[in-house]
Amino acid sequence: MAVPKRKTSKSRRDKRCANWKAVTPTLVECPHCKAQVVPHTVCKECGYYDGKEVIAKKAKKEKEGK
């Protein structure tokens, strides 16, 4: 089994985790329904991508009736 020859200092050990940061996702406005979406993905609100309907969504009136 491999064993280190010297003790790793706290400074050296902590440098490894120094660059792990939480990053907020990039969001853009959907040109069809103006909802915030991740770029290059289908809009979950309206189902459109690149100006074309990819996923058929039910009308809001049908959802409210249930």
Q: Mind listing the pLDDT tens digit of every residue in the chain (66 residues)?
A: 899 999 999 999 999 988 888 889 999 999 999 999 999 999 999 999 998 888 887 765 555 655
DSSP β-bridge partners for residue 52? 49
Residue 51: the pLDDT is 87
Residue 10: the pLDDT is 95
Is there a domain that residue 35 lies in? yes
- As for how many domains the chain has, the answer is 1
Residue 9: the pLDDT is 96
Supply the range of the domain harboring residue 35. 25-57
Is there a domain that residue 2 lies in? no
Residue 65: the pLDDT is 59
Q: How far is CA 58 from CA 5, 31, 51, 63, in A?
A: 65, 19, 18, 7
Would you say the pTM of this structure is higher than 0.75?
no
Is there a domain that residue 19 lies in? no
